[in-house]
Amino acid sequence: MNPVAKRVVTGLTVAALVISAILFTPVKAFLPVCVVLAVLAIAEYGKLLRIKTKSIGWLLFGAVFIAAAFMVLPWIAIHFDDGHIRGNLMLLYVLACVKFSDTGGFAFGLTSAKLMKGGNHKLCPTISPGKSWEGLLGSFVFSIGVSFAFLPWTGLKPLTALLVGVIAAIVGTMGDLIESKFKRWVGVKDSSAWKITNGMGGFLDMFDSILIAPAVIFALLLLGGCHSERYQLENPGKDEVIRVEPGDFINFELVENGTTGYMWEAKSDDEDVEVQLVHRGGEAKNGFCGAPGKCEVTIKVLRGFNGPAQVEFKYRRCWEKTEPARKFTLSLFKTIFPR
């Protein structure tokens, strides 16, 4: 198999595994996973560094830099966690923007080198001969495209999504160049110390573009209004007025008794306010009804929210047309002073 085909096959396989892992891994598990990856990357860095120098200072600098870069990833997931899947999606969003930027750069660079007479225009030939201005254009196209594709889940403003795509391409490319400069300094072609990533080099080769980009994108997300505020109602079940911003979440639990047919239902009068109800427990024991259960409520405020909105909750049997046994309303207003 030629090198390009090998890289494509390996890349698609790794991408499928990574996407599945990010979406289905509990948010709390990202920290130990990233610690393991950081240790492997630092070990590879240390092994390569010994080829050139045994300086403790360079070893400590690289170790701290790599560790900090990997620790940003679980921080993103934890910060945006809503108890369901938002934290996973936001981490996937950041990584997808950066890694698809890599893919776009590779595809455009390879294609332009074959189609253009005399080859394409080199970006930094002394550091990375394979990098080209045409490849950088491809990085912009792919990362911006991915950023906009995630809009339904990120809740970002279009301008912020555009900036995230641009930064993913620029800063991701900077990470590539920094790692390429390091490899040229120590005199190796790729960083793979153990040859376990078929066709894609080593750990540093796979993660070079995310050494800087996720931290910069994370900062931009916070500045651009992608909030992570989660309100935990202290006394759910009563009428209440709450001021929110697009991207906010409201979480609480309600007691219900599904074994007798009584369950909570909710309805929002604004399409930019989504309500999720998860009914748990309440199974009849020994043939008797009345076992208590709970209803987990998550209210998501989407990016188009301008307010006001009302979310009405009713506690009743779904087949009965009479007045509900209990009801209350949450009134949502857009905050006057943005956070």
Q: What is the DSSP letter of 287?
A: T
pLDDT tier at 286, thresholds 50, 70, 90: low
Give percent above pLDDT 70 in the chain: 83
pLDDT tier at 337, thresholds 50, 70, 90: very low
8 A C-beta contact, residue 138 and residue 123: no
**Cα-Cα end-to-end distance for the chain:** 54
The least confident of 79-93, 118-132, 133-147, 158-172 is 118-132
Q: What's the confidence (pLDDT) of residue 210? A: 83
pLDDT at residue 289 greater than cutoff 80: no
Identity (one letter) of the amino acid at 165? G
pLDDT tier at 314, thresholds 50, 70, 90: very high
Give CA–CA dist 159/212, Å, rounded.
22
> What domains appear along the chain, each with residue ranges and CATH number?
3-223 (no CATH), 230-334 (2.60.40.2020)
Q: What's the confidence (pLDDT) of residue 68? A: 92
pLDDT tier at 228, thresholds 50, 70, 90: low
Q: What's the confidence (pLDDT) of residue 15? A: 74
Give CA–CA dist 1/103, Å, rounded.
19
Q: What's the confidence (pLDDT) of residue 109? A: 84
**Which one has a higher pLDDT value, 55 or 282?**
55
Which candidate, 35, 52, 11, places its Cα nearest to that of 182? 52
Q: What's the confidence (pLDDT) of residue 339? A: 46
Q: What's the confidence (pLDDT) of residue 264? A: 92
**Which one has a higher pLDDT value, 246 or 255?**
255
The least confident of 89-98, 134-143, 246-255 is 246-255
**Which one has a higher pLDDT value, 186 or 234?**
186
pLDDT at residue 7 greater than cutoff 70: no
Give CA–CA dist 166/226, Å, rounded.
17
Give CA–CA dist 203/190, Å, rounded.
10
pLDDT tier at 148, thresholds 50, 70, 90: very high
pLDDT at residue 199 greater than cutoff 60: no
Q: What's the confidence (pLDDT) of residue 83? A: 66
pLDDT tier at 287, thresholds 50, 70, 90: low
Q: What's the confidence (pLDDT) of residue 251? A: 85
Q: What's the confidence (pLDDT) of residue 201? A: 59
Inter-axis angle of helices 56-79 and 213-223, nearest 10:
40
The overall average pLDDT reported for the chain is 82
Give CA–CA dist 259/121, Å, rounded.
70
Tokens of 17: 């595994």
Q: What's the confidence (pLDDT) of residue 49? A: 83
**Which one has a higher pLDDT value, 114 or 141?**
141
pLDDT at residue 20 greater than cutoff 80: yes
